[in-house]
Each structure stands twice: as structure tokens, then as C-alpha cells.
Amino acid sequence: MNDASLPSAPLAGVRVLDLSRVLAGPWCTQTLADLGADVVKIERPMRDGAGGDDTRGWGPPFLRDRHGHDTAESAYYLGANRNKRSVTVDIAQPAGQALIRRMAEQSDVFVENFKVGDMARYGLDSASLLALNPRLVYCSITGFGQTGPYRDRAGYDYAVQGMGGLMSVTGPSRQEIADDAPGGGPQKVGVAVADLFTGMYATTAILAALRHRDVTGQGQAIDMALLDTQVAMLANLGANYLATGVAPQRAGNAHQNIVPYQVFEVSDGHMILAVGNDGQFARFCAVASRTELAADPRFARNADRVRNRAVLVPMLAEIMRRRCKSDWLESLEAAKVPCGPINDLAEVFADPQVQARGMTVTSPHPLADDLRLVASPMKLSKTPVQYRRPPPLLGEHTDEVLKEMGLTAEDVASLRASGVV
């Protein structure tokens, strides 16, 4: 996978020292790795059956070996750690801390997601490492940030989705299902969006800091928090509240500011109708043979449709139920009206558009012939994403990386004998 004929990657030559675990940090560093950075993932050595990134054991499902048996590599871990090298270091030991400091001196970026204060106890906080390497970009990812009354709390995606308001606007409306009925009440999003968005914001902040470093020669500290990111992600709903003082409520599969923009039942299932402007609404009405709705002053403009949602949506629901999904999709797509099916994941990866865009990648793995992963969505014309390495085994590259740092085989053997690596 290390083909010298591949074009230069945009982050080639950037060394990232990654002390993060679980999802937000690893998602950030995987993105940097996909863009060519040399990401060295620091993990706990195996002790008494435990070690490494916690997510290695977050299964099933696990990767299956060549004989069809489960390995110790969970699908969760595999999905956020490609293109990295794994080195085991016990940072609780002074010799391990010294090793990390030595590695930080040779790195461009340092990423960690320990609780506030943990890195300072180890002498690995931003002030200490920036004193050693003033060009270092040091990114801390925590639940609530380095300041504020919640700074010492552990932060998890699920809790932050609740605290940050996302769950208050996710789930069926009270008119659809009462809060105390099965399926009612606030709901979390199906994937860990607070973690993932924090990882992506961290990536952007790191790239900005690297740009600043390249111009000025100065590194800096980045303070990323899941709660901050979740609040920022409220986007238009946050703006709605700040503009009016009225907290948006759950709207189910509908949109707070656009109508019709929701799931509708059709004769053989459900589909999405996502009308984004008045012209699209007029074209929908033509496809539905109800052109009078587009001319009705209650519905002609989106603002009117939002105000008269309770009148319009039941009318559209009755219209949509009269035809099957394939009929609607074909007719609406021909009329350039945004719409779509609701696919399960098997249908997603079988979709011809998903396949044409190369959204899966297959690579060899030390434990399996073929490892399939979701590909990066970034399509760069001059410096495309490269899949150089599968997600590493625990400590797979310890000897390799320490040798690159100048340690001898005897040095590494001594560190291993003392439990440091």
C-alpha cells in the first residue's frame, strides 16, 4: 500500500502524536492520516488482558479472521483508526512520560482527550510540551473544555446530545406521539454526532493552527469541547431561539423552517419529500396534478406554508398515499424536485451512486485477507486521499517508531522489560 508512484499527500511530512481514544479524537486523527499525516497512535500496553484503545473491545461485531473466527479488533475501532501506526507506552510511568516528551519534540501535532488536569500530572500538558517544542500544535478534546464550572466532568456523546439541546428537537412531535407513549419523547441521533462533529472541528482547527505555525513559526494550544460543538451544531435552530426567545420543539421528521420537507407515507412504504423553494413546490404540485395548491396564497411562499403547515401537510399526506414509492421517485426526480427513499445500510452500500463514488475501500489486514471500510468522502483532484495502512494491531509499530526516534534495540528491550512499552 506504500506505492512511491502515488501523488504527494497534502499533509505529507506532518507528524501527529495521537494520545486520544474512543471516537472524537481518533476521528480527527484519522482524517489527518487520510490526508497524508504520519499519525502515531499511543496506546496502553496490554496488562492482565486489558490495554489499548477501549474501542478495540467494543463489539460484537468484530473483524473475522481467515478462518471465520472473531478477532480482538472490533468494527467500531476499525472504523476510526486506519492509516495510523500503533505504539504502546505506559504514560503513568516516568520513563513513559519521558518517551512521550521526546516524541513530542519531533512532532508537529499533539492530540489528547484525557480529563482536564491528567496531562499536567504527567508533565504532558500544553504549556510543558510547547516549552519543549514551540512549533507544536497541541489539541485537547474534552467533554466540557478546559474552563468553566463543568471542566472536571467526564463528557460522553449521549449526555452531551441531551445537555446541548439536540435531543430536545429530535424525535416525534408531541402531536404525533405523546411523550409517555412507546416511541415518544426526546431521542438521540443514531450515530455519535457530538463526537464526530467535535473530531471534524478539531481537524479544521489543527489545519488552521498549522497554517499559522508555517507563517509565524509559533505553535499553539487548541481547546475543543463536545458541549461547545453540540451547541454550535444547533445551527438554524439555535438561531431561531436567539432571534425569538422561543425554544424550538420536536418536529419529528419535519423541518422547522421549510414545508414540505419531511417523510410521507406512500402506498407501499415511506419516502422523503424535501421541497427547498417555491419553484420546487410548484413543480411538485404539477407532478401531483394539484397545481391549484401552488397558486393558493396560503401555500405559494415557503413562509406561508410554514405558517399554514397544519392545513397543508394533511392534504399532501393524502395525495402522497395514492401512489407507490417508485412512481413518486421517478416522477419527482424527472421534475427536479428533491426526494429520496429511506434506505437501510445494506441498501446504502448497494446503491449505484454510493458505489460509483467509491464509498467503500478494501485493504489487506494482518488478520484477514480483505478488510472493508467506509471510505473518506474527501475527493481532492491533485492530492487524493490515500489508504496506506489498515487500522493497526495494538503496538504493531512500537519497535519501528522507536527505532526512527534513535532508540537502539537494547533500549527498546529495556523499556519493554520494565513495562514502559
Domains of the chain plus CATH, in order, are 15-231+355-417 (3.40.50.10540), 261-342 (3.30.1540.10)
Per-block average pLDDT, block size 10, for the chain (421 residues)?
64 97 98 98 92 95 94 96 98 97 98 96 98 98 97 94 96 87 91 97 98 98 98 96 96 91 94 96 97 96 96 96 95 96 94 97 92 97 95 97 95 95 96
Cα 205 from Cα 24, distance rounded (Å): 14
Residue 5: its pLDDT value, please?
Answer: 55
**Residue 178, pLDDT score:** 86
Q: What pTM was estimated for this model as a whole?
A: 0.91
pLDDT recorded at residue 175? 83
- Distance separating alpha carbons of residues 80 and 391, to the nearest angstrom: 8
Whether 65 is catalytic: no
Q: Which pLDDT score is estimated for 2?
A: 45
Question: What integer pLDDT is reported at residue 7 of this predicted model?
Answer: 63
CA dihedral (196, 140, 415, 103) positive or negative: positive
388 Cβ partners below 8 Å, 6+ apart? 1, 2, 83
Whole-angstrom Cα distance, residue 38 to residue 106?
12
Distance CA 98, CA 268 (A): 64
Q: Note the pLDDT of residue 1.
A: 45
Task: Answer left, alpha or beta for residue 419, where phi above 0 means left and psi between -120 and 50 means alpha.
Answer: left
For residue 335, the model assigns a pLDDT of: 97
Counting Cβ atoms within 10 Å, is residue 34 exposed (0-12), middle (13-18) or buried (19+)? buried
Write the single-letter amino acid at 215: V
Record the cell numbers describing residue 313, joined without a space: 401537510
8 A C-beta contact, residue 188 and residue 11: no
Which pLDDT score, from 0 to 100, does residue 182 have? Answer: 86
Q: Please, are residues 195 and 23 in contact by the beta-carbon 8 Å criterion?
A: yes
Catalytic pick from 118, 195, 296, 304?
195
Whether the ω angle into residue 45 lies within 30 degrees of 0, i.e. cis, is no
Number of residues that this document lists for the chain: 421
Which is it for the CA torsion 388, 380, 373, 193, positive or negative? positive
The pLDDT of residue 4 is 52
Q: What is the predicted pLDDT for the residue at 165?
A: 97
User: What secondary structure, in 3-state letters, does the chain show?
Assistant: CCCCCCCCCCCCCCEEEEECCCCHHHHHHHHHHHCCCEEEEEECCCECCECCCHHHHCCCCEEECCCCCEEEEEHHHHCCCCCEEEEECCCCCHHHHHHHHHHHHCCCEEEECCCCCHHHHCCCCHHHHHHHCCCCEEEEEECCCCCCCCCCCCCCHHHHHHHCCCHHHCCCCCCCCCCCCCCCCCCCCCCCHHHHHHHHHHHHHHHHHHHHHHHHCCCEEEEEEHHHHHHHHCHHHHHHHHHHCCCCCCCCCCCCCCCCEEEEEECCEEEEEECCCHHHHHHHHHHCCCHHHHHCCCCCCHHHHHHCHHHHHHHHHHHHCCCCHHHHHHHHHHCCCCEECCCCHHHHHHCHHHHHCCCEEEEEECCEEEEEEECCCCCCCCCCCCCCCCCCCCCCCHHHHHHHCCCCHHHHHHHHHCCCC
